[in-house]
Chain A
């Protein structure tokens, strides 16, 4: 595709191309850290980021989640139909498991905006994995699990499988070949929304979730 005529573009590129050449340095070696105990590092860093971690198993996660939600008095939980966790919750609710009112994110934001912005208390998402170095969750929102689900509700609950932990961002970008196909939006999330713009005093939930709960699905329980 040929670019439309664009004088600013041509002028800027023209000047840059006319500038004296300069050798680009080779990238010097850099060895990102590795961790013998990724889980311990992840836990330490995620908790330092003010995330709350609950160890669960594939068998008891839903029951544990229901307890957490009830203890907190969560009234309305938004879930993503079409995802394994979202569907499991919707099925459980239909079978009478005591859960908060489930609000499916099943239409566009234009339709659901008021519920998203004002009404739901919590949102539940899966994760694509996590990074031990910084205690970071990796989310690649999809058509089934939209972007705002992890952002607008005051409480974000993320389900993380223990065996998807990576040492560093560098490792996961390389090992999973991210460069071959980035999604509409890829997210790294390290704790709840926070600010220290007022006198460097930390305050949570300034725009996004005030709390982040990680349901860590342990391997040994399976």
Chain B
């Protein structure tokens, strides 16, 4: 049995139903436009030399592709090195299992409060809610994550989680939620207020939880990057550190890290490097004065091993979570992250979510794209996102099988299959492959097409989000012939 994505199936409104709210929200549009324009310009400034960019990303893509080609071996090596270093390694098939493991470690240590560094995998697990249900308080410490936790929201971007909020909204939120804080519009004062509150949380936390950017099999090293220092605090100050990560984050050697580090912050925020690169290889050793005395790593599958079964789709697992694809996506930059109603929004989410959650829950996601290729152009590890979007659209109607299991390659493959749509395409092919029929149909539409009401069956779904096409009285063929184009038949 192949493990499922672990995320609860999404029964909320789908992308197309949510998009108009975002599109008609001028404040949200302005917040995203401003942020995305800034991030695009800053990224471009980091890669001034196209030849060097090409060389670097070839290397980055190859490092990740090579690691994936040896994934089971590298995971075993990572486990054995970490174990030798004194880090305890746990494996979870589903997000539920991962939650249970984290909870078990915390309960065994008698932990009541947890301070968290930013981790998308923990979002995938809905870890905070799980811990809350069991009486453990988990406080987000990344400023953006802290803000949305105060607001009771979810991240709208995987690198800048509260990018949908402007300063005024954050000022109001802080004044309401932080006792004793006067409303202030000064970013330094807002930041200082968060520092004051969170410093106490750090000092009193029983455990720290973090994600992982890269896990090095060769040395058993967890690499975490960040600007704020909250990641370092979460992994250094409390007596217990639990890192959670997807199984695809492993790389083979320490020499693989420099090219990936040269790509990730530049692609993500347009920085040459983040303020902190935190490489953790063991718990506190005898004689050392700080650092957690116990370190755990939870390796989450969560549907990734299923993605791995298909060599083409497995390119998805190269992702290093830089978010450049969403920053450059003409769809994401207009609707923002919440419209996707998924943990991972934007282009990478559109290929990842359907594979982890299944095409029944998220089969609409690959359609929320214009296939403009901007995401593929900026991806630092060369994931062919548009090709995979098309592949997933196909899997949603005409699923392929994994030979070993006879299961659809993608969970719930075929979920979007519809007789109506198949019939429409069969009709389209019939018409377009028979010149005489084509002429008859186009003439008929030119003559009477405009009488078909916008809400006619078959037309209804199309016109929900688009204007009904207006048919001209004369066909394209007529106009072309009139202008003297010859009716050339290809040999």
Contact = CB atoms under 8 A, between A and B. Distances in A.
Interface of A: 1, 3, 6, 8-9, 11-13, 15-32, 45, 49, 105-110, 112-114, 117, 133-136, 142-143, 146-148, 151-152, 168-170, 173-174, 178-179, 182-201, 203, 205-209
Interface string B23-66: 00000000000110011000000000000000110110011011
B122 to A, nearest CB: 18
B232 A151 contact: yes
Contacts of B228: 193-195, 206-208
B143 interface: yes
A117 B202 contact: yes
Contact of B288 (A26, A146, A192): A146
Contacts of B219: 178-179, 182
Given A27-B63, A117-B202, A185-B281, A179 B195 contact: no
Interface of B: 2-3, 34-35, 38-39, 55-56, 58-59, 62-63, 65-66, 68-72, 75-76, 79-80, 83, 91-93, 97, 141-144, 147, 160-162, 166-167, 170, 187-188, 190-192, 194-195, 198-199, 202-203, 218-221, 227-230, 232-233, 236-237, 239, 247, 253-255, 257-259, 261-262, 269, 272-285, 287-291, 299, 301, 305-306, 308-309, 311, 314, 404
Given A18-B404, A182-B281, A190 B274 contact: yes
A10 B393 CA distance: 32
User: Which 9 pairs, one residue from A and one from B, show the smallest C-beta to C-beta distance?
Assistant: A208-B229, A24-B69, A197-B144, A170-B258, A188-B277, A30-B59, A109-B290, A9-B91, A193-B229
Contact of A207 (B62, B83, B198, B272): B198
Q: Which of B68, B141, B284 has the most CB of A within 10 A?
A: B284
A190 B273 contact: yes
A169 B407 CA distance: 45
A43 B141 CA distance: 31
A65 to B, nearest CB: 23
A107 B290 CA distance: 9
A210 to B, nearest CB: 9
B289 A108 contact: yes
A26 B207 CA distance: 41
Contacts of B247: 12, 16
A27 B236 contact: no
B279 to A, nearest CB: 4
Nearest to A192: B275
Contact of A183 (B199, B236, B281): B281
24 contacts: A11-B3, A13-B75, A23-B69, A30-B56, A31-B55, A117-B199, A136-B277, A152-B233, A173-B254, A179-B253, A182-B220, A184-B282, A186-B281, A188-B273, A190-B275, A193-B229, A196-B160, A199-B187, A200-B34, A201-B167, A205-B195, A206-B143, A206-B228, A209-B229
Given A133-B272, A190-B275, A203 B62 contact: no
